[in-house]
Amino acid sequence: MLEQIEGSHAVAKAIALSRPEVICAYPITPQTHIVERCAELIRVGAIRNCEFINVESEFAALSVAIGSSAAGARTYTATASQGLLFMAEAVYNAAGLGLPIVMTIGNRAIGAPINIWNDHSDSMALRDAGWIQLHAETNQEAADLHIQAFKLAERLSAPVMVCMDGFILTHAYERVEIPTQDQVDAFLPPYRPRQILDPSDPYSIGAMVGPEAFMEVRYLAHDKLLQALGVIPEIQKEFEDIFGRDSGGLFHSYRMEDAKTVVVTMGSLAGTVKDLVDDLHKDGARIGVISLCSYRPFPLDGLRYALRGASKVIVLEKSLAPGFGGVLASDVRMALQGVDTHVHTVIAGLGGRPITRKSLARMFARAERGELKDPHFLDLDLDIVRREIDNQRGQITAGPIAENILREIGPCTPKAV
């Protein structure tokens, strides 16, 4: 049924339809509305046969999930930002144990300075934990990806993060087609665990593995994610057959026929970029867009093929590796190894800085003219940055940078860009 609904609530409905058996909840903005709504759906009987556990930390949330998943229950949790980092040890552990837990990330910046708004620093920090990471472009896709995520996780016995941009998606009201229970039941079979804790067939899970076998175990974790490169499109097709909608997959291509410049991005930003690209096409520009859905595994071959006709690639990303540059951009360069295509790194939207069509258009024009430095920071106020660099150089006791800048720009609202 088509509903005008908040992103978080659409996801909660998708979770409910997926018949979860254990949900662990710990509040952190901006994912909190999801687990709140799950709690309500359980209380009113819309989710049946499900344990909802209010835990004392994100580390406990994922640890409870590890226990319930290993004991054979379909398990869900959600987090963001500091919460994801607080559970980091358990994130690696869940993947190492091969437990098909599904977790939403309401993507948010990481402090200090503390910031509740959207960027991709959180899930990027855990990109190599062995989880499948899917990024939603819209709330419809966010809801759909959760239903797909359980199937994907359970088929491969690997955990899946569904990443959706904090506030931009989680708190936005959009039209979302909510599937029927019959559709979801036809798509998603009951969870049949590969390994289970059962007194009638006891075995040990989580034994110590030394140098004699550790390499092989890790290789198999790598291999499992490479298998996902094949399984994700299969599930995309199975989903389309039942729900009549193209959702998920490895990446989405937009106006890629004869594109000379291609913007590669992830998440909700793709919508803004596509609108702008439509406008630019009216003026004869040949710009295409690729928005990645599967960031881990990273579709190296698929991307290389999709970008074969491009002479310029602009990677537009909401993450920064300090002392290095772009995170996504470096992955895209890996896909284009040995190909003579110029790759620009554009870092944008950190900590919720708005990414406007105007700024993007200006940046694209500079890229066309070959004036873009690498990495480029979209809408960075260089005056403030230079003054603070001078300030820090000038005195040992210059004080904390973030607070100095706040003092300088005064108690006003964020600068309009």
Partner 1 sequence: MSGKTSEQKIKFYQKGTFTVGNRLVDEARRSVQGSMERSNAITSGHRACQGCGEALGARYALDAAMRATGGQIIAVNATGCLEVFTTPYPETSWQVPWLHSLFGNAAAVASGVAAAMRVKGREQVRVVAQGGDGGTTDIGFGCLSGMFERNDDVLYICYDNEAYMNTGVQRSSATPPTARTATTPAAGPKPGNVFGTGKNLPLIAMAHNIPYVATASVAHLHDLERKVEKAMAIRGARYIHVFVPCPLGWGSASHDTIRLARLASECGLFPLFEAEHGEITGSIAIRRKVPVEDYLKPQKRFAHLFKDGDGIERIARLQRMADANIKRFDLQRDAKEAPL
Shortest Cβ distance from residue 213 to partner 1 (Å)? 6
By beta-carbon proximity to partner 1, the closer residue of 58 and 165 is: 58
From residue 350, give the alpha-carbon distance in Å to each of 173, 374, 407: 23, 17, 20
Question: What tokens were used for 146?
Answer: 């959760």
By beta-carbon proximity to partner 1, the closer residue of 91 and 363 is: 91
* Residue in the structure block whose two tokens are 């569904």: 162
Shortest Cβ distance from residue 75 to partner 1 (Å)? 8
> SS3 string of 51-80?
EEEECCCHHHHHHHHHHHHHCCCCEEEEEC
Shortest Cβ distance from residue 206 to partner 1 (Å)? 3
Positive or negative, the Cα torsion across 43, 47, 53, 57?
negative
d(CA 201, CA 39): 34
d(CA 122, CA 284): 38
Q: Are strands 22-25 and 51-54 parallel, antiparallel or unpaired?
A: parallel
* Residue in the structure block whose two tokens are 């403030």: 384
Shortest Cβ distance from residue 58 to partner 1 (Å)? 11
By beta-carbon proximity to partner 1, the closer residue of 71 and 172 is: 71
Environment class of 110 (CB within 10 Å of its CB; exposed 0-12, middle 13-18, buried 19+): middle
Q: Are strands 2-6 and 173-177 parallel, antiparallel or unpaired?
A: antiparallel
Shortest Cβ distance from residue 99 to partner 1 (Å)? 10
By beta-carbon proximity to partner 1, the closer residue of 59 and 295 is: 59
By beta-carbon proximity to partner 1, the closer residue of 62 and 164 is: 62
d(CA 354, CA 110): 17
Instruction: Answer for the pair 307, 336: CB distance below 8 angstroms, yes or no.
Output: yes
By beta-carbon proximity to partner 1, the closer residue of 157 and 330 is: 157
Shortest Cβ distance from residue 164 to partner 1 (Å)? 25
By beta-carbon proximity to partner 1, the closer residue of 7 and 100 is: 100
Residues interacting with partner 1, by CB under 8 A?
Answer: 21-22, 24, 49-51, 53-57, 59-60, 63-73, 75, 89-90, 93, 97, 197-199, 201-210, 212-213
d(CA 78, CA 366): 39
Environment class of 138 (CB within 10 Å of its CB; exposed 0-12, middle 13-18, buried 19+): buried
Shortest Cβ distance from residue 64 to partner 1 (Å)? 4
Shortest Cβ distance from residue 329 to partner 1 (Å)? 33
**Which of 93, 110, 101 shows the shortest CA–CA distance to 28?**
110
The phi, psi pair for 179, rounded to 5°, reads -70, 170
Shortest Cβ distance from residue 44 to partner 1 (Å)? 18
